[in-house]
Amino acid sequence: MAAFAPPPPGPRESPLLAAIRLPDRRAATKIKKLLKRGEDPNAPGDARGRLPLCACVQAGKLRALQALLKHPSIEVDKVDGAHHANAFTLAVLAPSFRAPIAEALLASGAD
């Protein structure tokens, strides 16, 4: 199931995707700062179309995910261009399924 492993960082990775590579607590802090500066939480983070929300799910970063979910314009059901699935689908299908991540997405209105 290597399709769920996050790829190595690329030269054209967005600041939000780069933040998700940090340890979870630091990632959440960095994401909050980036969102306050105006980063779009729904914008694809690289040329493949990976979304920050989906990257959090893939990396198992609950705090980072929660930081994104608190943003008022987050689109929880937006489809990730790299995997052609939304964050909830990736959470459920991931080989390392984490119930707290799926529960956070459902609480935010994911389908």
Write down the pLDDT at residue 4. 47
Give pLDDT, residue 34: 97
**Phi, psi at residue 94, to the nearest 5°?**
-60, 140
Residue range 10-35, pLDDT digits in tens: 568 999 999 999 999 999 999 999 99
Q: Distance (Å, rounded) from C-alpha 26 to C-alpha 29?
A: 5
Task: Tell me the sheet residues that pair with 80.
Answer: 85
CB 60 within 8 A of CB 48: no
